[in-house]
Amino acid sequence: MITTHLLEGKTVIVTGSSTGIGAAIAIACANHGARAVVLHHLGESTLADVSEVAERVRAAGAHSVLVEGDIASPSTAESLVKAAPYGRIDVLVSNAGICPFHAFLDLPHDLWRRVQDVNLNGAFYAVQAVANAMAAQDPPGGSIVAISSISALMGGAEQCHYTPTKAGVKSLMESCAIALGHLGIRCNSVLPGTIETNINRDDLADPQKRRDMTRRIPIGRLGEPDDIAQPVVFFASDMAKYCTGASLLVDGGAAISLQ
Ligand code: RM4
């Protein structure tokens, strides 16, 4: 566990924070000194998990606030802004996302729409609501980190609904970086490789697929949520004060490997 004072005194909002990468990010922000972490989760089905994350955030010395709601609804983003304690939002990590693996030819249209609504529209609603709050606070400014994916750069046969959203999230950060730079709001994205979480546990249960995925990763293993959380803290912190519009691939070397 890495602890520093990188986020000392800051208030951080993390969407999709009940499990996986979002949970690891929330806990890491607390371990790096955050004063408060606003933990977004979907609702009843995620309450037990996010409550455990809240306990670990508090154990690390940060105040925790739970906010439930479907990130695909703009009202959830407004609730996140209202829930931020101490009257200031320093960091937003836009993480919430789904990837229900499905073949393309019979991909249901409502499933396509749901993945767009959660992964891309949800990111837009959260980023816009928090950016407005960051612009209005005194002094204005903050850091927005979106969780894109290696899938922004390469496709997946059963991810035709998902990969466009991850490319869109990366692009959203690049345009927001231009639109918001004069307000002191930095916008960057982290692109995880194959990180084992609930999102892909079934997919990776196939031993052959697991072997094939791992074989092409120079570091020699699939990623873990904390492998993503630490680079996110970098972008969230003042160590990245001259970084905006950047995207950081965190994939164990998979994207450059043909082996
Ligand atoms: C990532 C990448 C991984 C997959 C997850 C769901 O972008 O494609 O291989 O497991 O998405």
What's the pLDDT tens digit per position in 45-104? Answer: 999 999 999 999 999 999 999 999 999 999 999 999 999 999 999 999 999 999 999 999
Mutate to test the pocket of ligand 1, among 200, 201, 247 (most ligand atoms within 8 A of CB): 200
pLDDT band for position 215 (50/70/90)?
Answer: very high
Whether the per-residue pLDDT at 259 is higher than 80: the answer is no
Report which ligand 1 atom has the smallest distance to the Cα of 196. 10
Q: Which residues contact 169 (CB under 8 A, 6 or more apart)?
A: 94, 119, 120, 123, 146, 147, 148, 149, 152, 189
Average pLDDT on 143-154 reads 98
Going by alpha carbons, the residue nearest to atom 6 of ligand 1 is: 200
Q: Which of 166, 189, 237, 247 is catalytic?
A: 166
CATH architecture of the domain 11-256 equals: 3-Layer(aba) Sandwich (3.40)
Alpha-carbon distance of 40 to 87, in angstroms, equals 18
Going by alpha carbons, the residue nearest to atom 2 of ligand 1 is: 194
Domain boundaries, the chain: 11-256
Q: Which of 149, 151, 189, 237 is catalytic?
A: 149
CB atoms inside a 10 Å sphere around CB 70: 13
What's the pLDDT tens digit per position in 136-145? Answer: 999 999 999 9
CB 189 within 8 A of CB 232: no
User: Is residue 100 within 6 Å of ligand 1 at its C-beta?
Assistant: no
| 242 classed as catalytic | no
Predicted model pTM: 0.97
